[in-house]
Structure formats: structure tokens, C-alpha cells
Amino acid sequence: MNRHQGDRSKGKSNRKGNRKKSFSNYAKENTSSKKPNKSQKHSDEIRLNKYVANTGVCSRREADVHIATGLVSVNGKVITEMGYKVKPADEVRYDGARINPEKKAYVLLNKPKGFATTTSEGKGRTVMDLVANATSARIKPIGRLGRNSKGLLLFTNDETIHKKFTNSKNGVARLFHIELDKNLKLEDLKKIQNGFKFEGKLIEVEEISYIDGASKKEVGLKIKNTGNTIIRTIFEHFSYDILSLDCVAIGHLTKKDIPRGHWKHLTEQELNTLRML
């Protein structure tokens, strides 16, 4: 179910959103629900260090230290055993205070311009203002979009999903619609597609092409990097300035039915497909 906040400028997003985007391939996955069997019930148990880390009080490595020093108890008993497993119904306390792991949340925002991608306060308008009413979980954005960039941004408190995105080789590809200050030369497009060295590092993209029906100032770029700094680096290297940068797809996730400035929770099917990418 969508909730609405922020900029309601549908007109601009619809105008460009209706253009055909190159190399967009969206997976579909059927899911089925089954009653848990006995072996599945045991899967509800998780390691104590992971349980503590999931509450957000510390990392899993730090949790190991806290457990070893006797700061964690389960059902009134101090546990110092590494690998100890707990059930969801167990009472777990850290330094005397009861803790509970948050329910995982996955929020997809269609970011408008003018909002910084940060969880820090004192930075003016941020993307956290736009998703403030989405969930009580302590979600954070995966990757960054510049203040003047727009498009899809995924928020979650699921560290596994965070790690999937930050793996530049095996991560999740994003598709950007980019408008440059001048036509992109075919020779430069091919150099970007083939990969090039910058400051001793190989810069690679998944795909790049001109946008069908538009001028050669507009290109589609697919890349497995979580930020947009690398994108600006690519075009600055070839002496182009980016006038507009819009993330139009994250893996199989698109902006369909998400007006600019609005958000939605991922469906179970979308989440399952994301995990399989």
C-alpha cells in the first residue's frame, strides 16, 4: 500500500517515464505458501550474536565480545557460549535491558530533486523525511543519489540485502536515464561500454546505449555500483557534464505506480526475486 509524501510532480516523471528504456529486463517469480514442517520450525532459532546485532545495538562481531564478557542473558541466565541459539519468544537482555530484533522492512522511494541521501541530521531536507511514516524500523538507504539526482532508492534494515548491493561484481544492477550537456560521441560510448582505466582502476559498466527516440544527449546506463559518484566520474573523464540523472530501475524494481516523492513497501514476490538476483 502506498503512502504519499513530498513532491507531487507527476507530470515531469510521466513525460520521461513513458519513453522506452533500453535493456530493461524484469524477472518474475512465483511463490507459494506452505505450512511449516518440523524441520522448518527449527529454522526460527538464530544465533545469539545475530539476534543481538539485529536489534541495532551493535555489530555481530561486537555482540560476540559482549556475550563473552557476560553482558547478555537469555530467559534470566547469562550466556557466554559462542554459537548459542535463541527462539523468537525468548527474553533476551543486553546490559540489563530487554532487546528485540526489528521486523525487516523494505521501502522503495521515488526520490525527487532537492533531498540529500543521508541519515545525518542538520543536512537540510533528506530522504529520511520522505520515508518517515513508512515504518518504525530503523531503515537506511542503500547507496546514494545526489541532492539534485532523482529516481529509485531502496531503504531497509536488512544487512544481507545491503551487502548484496555493495558487492560491485555480484551486486544488483541499476538502470539510469542520464541527460548530458552535449551529444555523447559514439566513440566515447564504445569506450565506456568496453571499460577504461581511471587513476589505475578499471571502470566497468553493465551496458550503455542511446535512449530510443531522444537526442544523443540522453543515454541509458546500467551499472552495479551503489552510488552516483562513479557515474559522474565516468562522464567527466570524457568531458561531459550531467544535467539530469534519474534511477529508473533497481534490478527488476521499477518506478511503476510510484509517483515522484512517494514510496511503497516491497511485495513478498518482489523481495523474493531481489534475493535471487
Domain with 56 in it: what CATH number?
3.10.290.10
- 195: containing domain: 174-250
User: Residue 138: inside a domain, yes or no?
Assistant: yes
The CATH number linked to 130 is: 3.30.70.580
What does each of the 277 residues of the chain score in pLDDT, given as a tens digit? 444 444 444 444 444 444 444 443 332 333 333 444 444 445 578 899 988 887 777 888 999 999 999 999 999 999 999 899 998 788 999 999 888 877 889 999 999 999 999 988 888 899 999 999 999 888 999 988 999 999 999 999 887 888 888 766 667 899 999 999 999 999 999 999 999 999 998 999 999 999 999 999 999 999 987 677 899 999 999 999 999 999 999 999 999 999 999 999 999 999 999 888 7
Composition of the chain by helix, strand, coil, percent to 5: 25, 25, 50
**Listed residues 98, 117, 132: the one ending a domain:** 98
| 159-166 helix and 268-276 helix, angle to the nearest 10 degrees | 50
Q: How many domains does the chain have?
A: 3
Selection from 96, 95, 144 nearest residue 119 by Cα: 144
| Residues 140 and 151 both lie in one domain | yes
Instruction: Name the grid cell of 55.
Output: 536489534
User: Residue 224: inside a domain, yes or no?
Assistant: yes
| Residues 90 and 225 both lie in one domain | no
CA distances from 19 to 16, 90, 98, 114, 180 (A): 6, 53, 52, 24, 17
Q: Is the pTM of this model over 0.75?
A: no
User: Residue 115: inside a domain, yes or no?
Assistant: yes
| Residues 222 and 88 both lie in one domain | no
User: Residue 134: inside a domain, yes or no?
Assistant: yes
CA–chain centroid gap for 198, Å, is 26
Cα Rg of the chain, angstroms? 22
CA–chain centroid gap for 19, Å, is 24
